[in-house]
Structure 1
Amino acid sequence: MIRPAVLFLLLAFTLPTTQAEQNPYTFTEADIQFLSMFTLDNLPDLPDAPSNRLADNDQAARLGHQLFFDTGLSANGEVACSTCHQPERYFTDGLPQSQALGTTRRNAPSIPSALHGPWQFWDGRTDSLWAQALSPLEDLNEHGMDRTSAARYFVTEYRDEYEALFGASDEAERVRALTESASPKQPGEPAQAWSDLDEADRDAVNRVFAQLGKVIMAYERKLDLEPARFDRFVNALQEDKEESRLRNLLTDDEVNGMRLFMGKANCASCHNGPLFTNFEFHNIGAPEADRKNVDLGRFEGVAELQDNTFTCLSDYSDADPEQCEEMRFLKQQGPELVGAFKTPSLRNVNETAPYMQAGQLATLMDVIAHYNTPTPPFYDREQHPSRPHFDILPLKLTVEEQEQLAAFLATLTSPIPDQDKWWQAPTR
């Protein structure tokens, strides 16, 4: 949700005056104050993670780093988390729909920009990064690994590292002794094998499996973003407003695009804050990727959340129930959930095409054109529980303004930190 202070300043953001139209580098103090709210300097510390006591444990992060790049955590020994979340692509893969053991329904969101949000995946079907890390492992189109095998691999191949963090536990011994390929998320024999396990074995597998996700989350919380040109521009505005310095950072078109973003185009109403997202869910009428199998977005995500074994409120969380406010006050129904998807961060957006949840739009100009003259959401009364809510209005920008807006979005690209070990594949 947009913060009140941001909303107030958004409404007050100065549209170009006659002087500014001649010189786009002229800003009022109120403008500069407003723009500063979007810089990485204003990014708060990572949110508390009560459901994961290892979230900020360096030893856990080092282990999670290994696991993130380990192709052994897949049915064919060829797929790792890094297959679809590639550091050189800002932890995306450049595909409309990710390719691993099969083709996924949606594309891979960037990880660094997701660290501050309460919900993960396009539909928010998990409430933590550790729960998010677990879901692809069992997905037959992604890692395709059953739950028991993934847990057994963790406590066997990483036995020393596991015991250094968790000790030599009975649950780990139970998991090592299991030979079945069992999973409640995979049909046929794995599901039957899971039902056949006794309760103590299922609980042991779930605990080890949750620990696997928690150490991967600890690694992901190490992924920092470097300041982009936009950040450096606003910092320069705050320091001395020297026009020659400003012009070396952003071009006229980029500055005019920034003014459009914050003003006339109203992009900042949803794409606000240092990560350019409100982390909320909206239906913007993006083209339906498959009209015979419509994507209900948040509507389905909420249902999955309520059925998820690994939430903040679950037995495998480290949190007290009162700490799980997002789950305790979860919005469970309403037409605004139907076909709604999480507002993506616009950090590095120029380098993370294609766009929308299934890569329906190839370029930023395609995205801007959609917002400029949007089409109402596709509706099929046989598939939709209700007519989808529609959250946007036409922008009515000229072609030049659309190009300027795209130019500004390119200034949100951070340099890839080549010297940062967390952005590199680990050595073991």
Structure 2
Amino acid sequence: MSGPRQAVLVLLVCGMIGQVEAAGAEVLAFDEAERQLIESHGPWPPAPRHDPSNRVSGNPDAIELGRHLYFDAELSIDGSMSCATCHIPKTGLGDGLATGKGREQLSRNTPHLFNLAYSRWYGWGGGADSLWAQSIRPIMAPLEMAATPTHVVTRIKDQPLLSCLYQKTFGSPVAGHGEQEGLVNAAKSLAAFQETMVTGRTSFDAFRDALLAGDSNSADQYPVEAQRGLKLFVGKGQCSLCHFGPQFTNGEFGDVGIPHFHGKGVVDKGRYGGIQNLQKTPYSLAGPFSDDGTEKTARKTRHVTLQDRNWGEFKTPSLRNVAETAPYMHNGSLPTLDAVVRHYSEIDEARLHVDGEKILKPLHLSVQETGDLVAFLKSLSAPLVQPINEDMTAAECSPGHTNQRP
């Protein structure tokens, strides 16, 4: 080979080596404290979780019954809306609105349904302590589906497929159960279906695992701006103080400076109202409808206490699939992730309730830092492990054998 050609080849090879080294160099350095925090956000997905208070949790027949109930507008008092009217599969299992639209405009943002099997409390104020109890609330709410136990039981009894699936799930026809029991059983089937809405592995999960394994070739596939955002998330931003663990949430409640008045003289009590509901509802884990014979699941409910500081506190949401669930906050007042990050960057401490979160201080993030945090948050998205089947074509059903968990 001639000299000039050899020189060109050497330059090309060196250039390729340089590119490989540059790609590998895109893995930022994380110190031990950062690595431990990053590790705490996994692994994902977690093992399936069955609810001890719901005897049909994980039951395939209950899941199928719940799926049909979820899309059934006739479950509402006038046939005008179903669960899927507000929790739309194609729009992040929400409705994309600032606040929900029922029979009238509602005051809270419609929460998404991702990964609810792993939650501790349900609703922005935590007014329900189980997924099945939370499923009852919109069915009965006067401004939402506005149904009654009688209406729910009648709908299941009169619709052949629902009736068959109910009998297959619970071992006897709905007509043989009391109206309250029939309502609760319908809600437990809805909960069993919602438990399947688990999101898959994200680019963050792949990076986390590669980083911990020392696999730089895989880790450098994660965008550097998302890595910078991750550094901010576990470091300067202190986001992981509330958004921690595999679900990126503490599962509890806080005042983060979002107004809780939604009209002249009208206040959203937040967690305060949620606890009040827990203390009076017959559908709590401490009530007669829980299937947990050990009553272990009811301990959290029996021990929760009402405090003045609960005014203006709202649930800390999971950040998994957060990019799919705009707008944000309990009142839908922040339209984009960029707006959310800027809210915390520029937070007005004077707007916090007297017992507001003491850890919140203005972060004064730069434009690049804001963009990096948004890039990281967007990396937490992934499709559902089991896509939702919206085909409501009547399936064959034989009510003989049941698949109930023992």
Q: What is the TM-score of this pair, normalised by structure 2?
A: 0.83
TM alignment of 1:123-134, pairs within 5 A? 123-134=125-136
Task: State, as a whole percentage, how many aligned pairs show the same letter.
Answer: 32
Separation in 2, partners of 1:37, 1:411: 17
Residue in 2 aligned with 1:316? 289
Picking from 161, 165, 188, the partner of 2:165 is: 161
Contact conserved, 2:42 with 2:205, CA < 8 A, in 1? yes
Residue in 2 aligned with 1:360? 333
Contact conserved, 1:102 with 1:140, CA < 8 A, in 2? no
Residue in 1 aligned with 2:56? 54
Contact conserved, 1:123 with 1:341, CA < 8 A, in 2? yes
Task: Note the alpha carbon deviations across 1:205-262, whole angstroms, 9 max, x for none.
Answer: 111111110011111111221111111112222344325x434332x22111110001
Kindly indicate whether residue 182 of structure 2 is the aligned counterpart of residue 208 of structure 1. yes
Task: Note the alpha carbon deviations across 1:315-373, whole angstroms, 9 max, x for none.
Answer: 1221236321111211x222321110110011111121100001011111211111112
1:290 counterpart SS class = strand
Separation in 2, partners of 1:110, 1:40: 22
TM alignment of 1:25-424, pairs within 5 A? 25-28=28-31, 31-41=34-44, 43-46=46-49, 48-157=50-159, 158-168=162-172, 172-173=175-176, 204-243=178-217, 245-250=218-223, 252-288=224-260, 290-292=262-264, 293-320=266-293, 322-323=295-296, 324-330=298-304, 332-376=305-349, 387-391=354-358, 392-416=360-384, 420-422=386-388, 424=390
2:212 partner letter: Q
* Shift in alpha-carbon separation, 1:75–1:258, aligned structure 2, 3 A: same
Residue in 2 aligned with 1:193? none
* Shift in alpha-carbon separation, 1:53–1:35, aligned structure 2, 3 A: same
Separation in 1, partners of 2:141, 2:165: 26
* Shift in alpha-carbon separation, 1:409–1:296, aligned structure 2, 3 A: same
2:75 counterpart SS class = coil
Task: Note the alpha carbon deviations across 1:386-428, whole angstroms, 9 max, x for none.
Answer: 95534422223222212211111111111355xx354544432
Unaligned runs of 5+ in 1: 1-21, 175-203, 380-385
RMSD: 2.3
* Shift in alpha-carbon separation, 1:114–1:336, aligned structure 2, 3 A: farther
* Shift in alpha-carbon separation, 1:288–1:399, aligned structure 2, 3 A: farther
Unaligned runs of 5+ in 2: 1-24, 395-406
Separation in 1, partners of 2:300, 2:47: 19
Residue in 2 aligned with 1:189? none
Separation in 2, partners of 1:32, 1:329: 35
* Shift in alpha-carbon separation, 1:254–1:108, aligned structure 2, 3 A: same
* Shift in alpha-carbon separation, 1:321–1:378, aligned structure 2, 3 A: farther
Q: Which structure is larger by alpha-carbon Rg, 1 or 2?
A: 2
* Shift in alpha-carbon separation, 1:362–1:240, aligned structure 2, 3 A: same
Structure 1 runs, 4 residues or longer, greater than 6 Å off: none
* Shift in alpha-carbon separation, 1:42–1:23, aligned structure 2, 3 A: same
2:241 partner letter: S
Instruction: Tell me how many residue pairs correspond in the alignment.
Output: 365
Q: What is the TM-score of this pair, normalised by structure 1?
A: 0.79
Task: Note the alpha carbon deviations across 1:94-113, whole angstroms, 9 max, x for none.
Answer: 11111233322212212123
